[in-house]
Structure 1
């Protein structure tokens, strides 16, 4: 029986929240979880958009994780 472990080299995750504090908390929690997979943050992109239907801001982010080398 062959036993093989493959490491995750790269991972991209998307986040969306109604306020900036919640978005930051979501990203921080995921960073801690990805440390167990030996992934570090490579880059973060964020954006704020006004939602006309709810008349509120919507905050989103894309976080790119890469394996520690």
Structure 2
């Protein structure tokens, strides 16, 4: 049986929240989790839209993680 370890080089994650503080906390938590995988933030994109069903703003973000370069 072959045992092989591959490093994750790229990872894209999506986040959504009803307020900016919650969105920031979710992203910060995932940044800490991805440090164990030796990933760091490469790029962040964020958006805010008005949700007419709830009458509130909806915030989202896409975070691209890349392997740390030594």
**TM-score of the superposed pair, with normalisation by structure 2:** 0.96
For structure 2, list consecutive stretches of 5 or more residues without a partner in the other structure. none
Structure 1 segments, 4+ long, off by >2 Å, are: none
Cα deviation, 1:7-63, whole Å, max 9, x if unaligned, reads 101000000000000000000000000000000000000000000010000000000
**Number of matched pairs:** 69
- Give, in whole Å, the separation in 1 of the partners of 2:20 and 2:2: 46
State the match for 1:33 in structure 2: 33
For structure 1, list consecutive stretches of 5 or more residues without a partner in the other structure. none
